[in-house]
Amino acid sequence: MNRFFIFTAVLSLLFSVLSGCQTSNALKIPGETELITKNIASEYFTIAEAYAELKKWDKACTYYKLAMQEKSLRLSAYYKLARCYALSGDYASSTRCYSELLELDPENKDIKLSLAYVKGMNGNTGEALEMYKSLTQLYPNDSSVLVNYINLLLFTEKKDEAKEQFLILEEKFPDNSEIKTLSEKVNAGSDVPSESENKPSLPPPEAN
């Protein structure tokens, strides 16, 4: 189904919620206001998701913020907001969001990885490297953590350390799909790949 059609349908549904759901002032149904607020917030969240799928990060951020008015959606919307900030390049805002989320859920692996990523992209590379180093020890069986650590080492031009970590990756995870690409980067001579090629990647979004 065409994305534009889906997005238009969502907007039409939101308009119907806003214009046609309230009863007259003469007859108030108990809990009606709360229900309408929840329904509208859900529509805001749906619109935010549609914008995020289209990679319109600024618009997505606007609607995730609106969706946060509903308590039941607040954490999910805030997580998605943090991710949109990161994908839009607003690493400072993303760092603030992920830091607050980690305080609420200190054992969440994806939030830890995301925070390490945005700290690195925001220029706090020393702190980000320490976080990734710690995460490789905390999650020794997750090759994606090690891959991101290697990429950040390359991004910060710490090539010798990147080689050391690459040997660990090659030994522990010989079937990892990133080995060939990383091998070319780690073993490159004067033809060093650009910074954009060496950037670590943001973890995939959590399931709703």
Examine residue 167 and state whether it is found in any structural domain, yes or no.
yes
Contact 137, 147 (CB under 8 A): no
Task: State how far the Cα of 153 lies from the Cα of 198, in Å rounded to an integer.
Answer: 8
Q: Do 137 and 42 fall within a single domain?
A: no
Q: Do 110 and 78 fall within a single domain?
A: no
Contact 124, 92 (CB under 8 A): no
Q: Do 124 and 175 fall within a single domain?
A: yes
- The pLDDT, as a whole number, for residue 33 is 58
Domain that holds residue 173: 106-208
Examine residue 190 and state whether it is found in any structural domain, yes or no.
yes
Q: Do 133 and 205 fall within a single domain?
A: yes
Examine residue 100 and state whether it is found in any structural domain, yes or no.
no
Q: Do 157 and 200 fall within a single domain?
A: yes
Examine residue 125 and state whether it is found in any structural domain, yes or no.
yes
Q: Do 55 and 113 fall within a single domain?
A: no
Q: Do 150 and 203 fall within a single domain?
A: yes
The domain that holds 6 is classified in CATH as 1.25.40.10
Examine residue 94 and state whether it is found in any structural domain, yes or no.
no
Contact 70, 41 (CB under 8 A): yes
Q: Is 20 helix (H, G, I), strand (E, B) or coil?
A: helix
Q: Do 6 and 63 fall within a single domain?
A: yes
Contact 68, 78 (CB under 8 A): yes
- The pLDDT, as a whole number, for residue 108 is 94
Q: What angle do CA 44, 49, 52 make, to 5 degrees?
A: 125
Nearest-10 Cα torsion for 65, 68, 73, 77? 30
Q: Is 90 helix (H, G, I), strand (E, B) or coil?
A: coil
Examine residue 194 and state whether it is found in any structural domain, yes or no.
yes
Report which of 79, 1, 15 is spatially closest to residue 43, judged by C-alpha positions. 15
Sequence-ordered list of residues with C-beta below 8 angstroms from that of 19, at least 6 positions apart, any chain: none
> Which amino acid makes up residue 51?
Y
Q: Do 5 and 61 fall within a single domain?
A: yes
Contact 154, 138 (CB under 8 A): no
Sequence-ordered list of residues with C-beta below 8 angstroms from that of 42, at least 6 positions apart, any chain: 67, 70, 73
pLDDT per residue rounded down to tens, the chain (208 residues): 455 455 555 555 454 444 444 444 544 554 445 666 678 989 999 999 999 999 999 999 999 999 999 999 999 999 999 999 999 999 999 999 999 999 999 999 999 999 999 999 999 999 999 999 999 999 999 999 999 999 999 999 999 999 999 999 999 999 999 999 999 999 885 444 444 456 788 877 764 4
Tokens coding 142? 């997750």
Q: Do 37 and 130 fall within a single domain?
A: no
The number of CA neighbours under 13 Å toward the Cβ of 167 is 5
Task: State how far the Cα of 106 lies from the Cα of 73, in Å rounded to an integer.
Answer: 20
Examine residue 160 and state whether it is found in any structural domain, yes or no.
yes
> Which amino acid makes up residue 87?
L
Q: Do 7 and 55 fall within a single domain?
A: yes
The domain that holds 155 is classified in CATH as 1.25.40
Q: Do 15 and 71 fall within a single domain?
A: yes
How many CB atoms sit inside 10 A of residue 186's CB? Answer: 21
- The pLDDT, as a whole number, for residue 134 is 96
Examine residue 98 and state whether it is found in any structural domain, yes or no.
no
Q: How many domains does the chain have?
A: 2
